[in-house]
Amino acid sequence: MLQIYDSGYAAQVVADNKIPEAEPVDEPDPEAPMVGEVHKNVQVLTDLNVLEFSRLMQAMSTWVAPEQGCEFCHNPNDLASDEKYPKVVSRRMLQMTRDINTQWKTHVADTGVTCWTCHRGQAVPSGDWFRHPGEGENMQNIIGNRFEQNIAGVQAVGNSSLPYDPLSTYLNTEAPNIRVQGVTALPTGNRQSIRQAEFSYGLMIYMSQSLGVNCSFCHNTRSLAAWDQSSPQRVTAWYGIRMVRDLNVNYLNPIAPLLPKFRLSAEGDGPKVGCLTCHKGVYKPLYGQRMLEEGGHPELRGPVVRPPAEPASAAVALR
Ligand code: HEC
Ligand code: HEC
Ligand code: HEC
Ligand code: HEC
């Protein structure tokens, strides 16, 4: 189960995965008041004292808006005001980050994530995605229905002829079964078809590209289905798929109405998270460097208050 790396590509990716210097940590001060005693409109970070709170505000500026700084999220004359949308979105992002670090340890382990993992100094992180709008209707009349495939130049599926939107199918809802291989001699049980297999392969190519690995990072290719011959990383990836669905359904989709129109797709769809948003071409985001330890930002493991549950979204039927 060999991995093949292109040395030029690897050098570029190493350069892209530096972490910024941590903010200096203040001397512990038992007299420092809690945020609630000083600030008026703190809803998520209520467990911090004012020193920890300001240090995190500094770090968030570096991670998300290094050029604009505080003013990207705040009216400098009234820091308590929620008039700027990036502040309102950031509150949800803080909840999401804490949620990932405490509820999804099956995937992120003790490494965890910060805003930097996705944002890397940009308001809009690379590797977010939208539903693929699909083809014009008239194409169907002229050349028949392409069934969402055989289109050149769709990067998510490695420019292959596979269905071009496996992400909406599998990473935005409680999706249909990704497994395609029959486990019985006769076609009973799970619904296998070549068509369904093509959707699964599209997703697998996307996952491989996002992590910068070959199929054999997770599978023994003599039997792609067999778990007892797969690497432990495949299990981590299984949890990763469930985590990404959870993040999109409970955080990213509800955030879409808070964003200005120019952040949405032409069809009005909101931006979503995928494997690439965190991994950015590496098997572990930032090569597994930890930012949540002492001296970093352990407060991003703080208590989680999940937003109210969305009504369960209906499973996408395979078209
Ligand atoms: C990426 C967005 C973002 C940036 C950049 C940012 N903040 Fe904040 N700020 C927030 C959010 C979100 C809250 C509310 C947190 C909560 O509800 O738990 C907040 C709250 C505050 C508050 C509390 C105000 C009150 O009375 O309720 C202060 C003070 C503050 N920020 C200062 C700063 C300073 C100073 C900077 C620049 C060094 C900064 N912030 C940069 C998002 C940001
Ligand atoms: C798992 C990846 C991920 C993490 C972690 C994450 N974000 Fe985001 N964030 C996103 C995505 C995806 C969007 C949607 C991009 C857009 O707005 O077009 C977004 C949008 C935002 C926006 C709105 C930007 C704009 O101008 O539209 C802000 C502000 C923001 N995040 C702040 C934060 C802060 C602060 C943290 C850390 C507490 C954080 N994010 C953690 C993925 C992430
Ligand atoms: C990062 C790990 C990872 C990589 C890389 C990966 N896979 Fe997978 N693969 C999985 C996981 C996890 C599942 C099971 C998904 C589920 O059930 O939710 C799976 C399922 C499959 C299945 C369905 C097996 C069955 O039970 O019917 C096939 C086929 C497959 N992968 C092929 C590939 C191919 C081809 C590649 C390379 C292009 C690849 N995979 C790359 C993790 C990976
Ligand atoms: C919120 C950010 C985030 C997202 C989104 C994410 N991952 Fe991860 N992933 C991580 C972190 C952090 C680790 C490192 C955990 C550790 O140190 O063991 C990791 C580790 C892994 C590993 C184990 C690598 C190893 O060498 O042990 C695999 C495989 C993996 N991710 C696959 C995926 C797949 C596939 C997806 C998309 C379905 C995905 N991840 C989405 C953050 C993320």
pLDDT at 199: 87
Mutation pick for ligand 4 pocket among 100, 103, 107 (CB with most ligand atoms within 8 Å): 107
Amino acid 141: pLDDT: 55
pLDDT at res. 312: 42
Task: Pick the ligand that lies closest to the CA of residue 74.
Answer: 1
How far are the Cα atoms of 195, 222, 228, 233, 234 from residue 180, in angstroms, in the given order? 10, 15, 17, 20, 16
189 CA → ligand 4 middle, Å: 30
d(CA 47, CA 33): 11
Which pLDDT belongs to residue 38?
95
pLDDT at 159: 80
Are 201 and 149 spatial neighbours (Cβ–Cβ below 8 Å)?
no
Between CA 98 and CA 210 the distance in angstroms is 23
Q: Are 279 and 207 in contact (CB under 8 A)?
A: no
CA distance 237 to 243: 10
Cβ(58) to ligand 1 under 6 A?
yes
Q: What are the tokens at 155?
A: 């990067």
Distance 218 CA to ligand 3 centre (A): 7
pLDDT the model gives residue 10: 85
User: CB within 6 Å of ligand 4 — which residues?
Assistant: 100, 107-109, 111, 113, 117, 207, 211, 233, 236-237, 240-241, 244, 273, 275, 277-279, 283-285, 288
C-alpha to C-alpha distance for 216 and 164, rounded to whole angstroms = 23
Regions of the chain short of the pLDDT cut 50? 137-138, 311-319
In this prediction, residue 3 carries a pLDDT of 86
> What is residue 84's predicted lDDT score, i.e. its pLDDT?
97
pLDDT for the residue numbered 195: 77
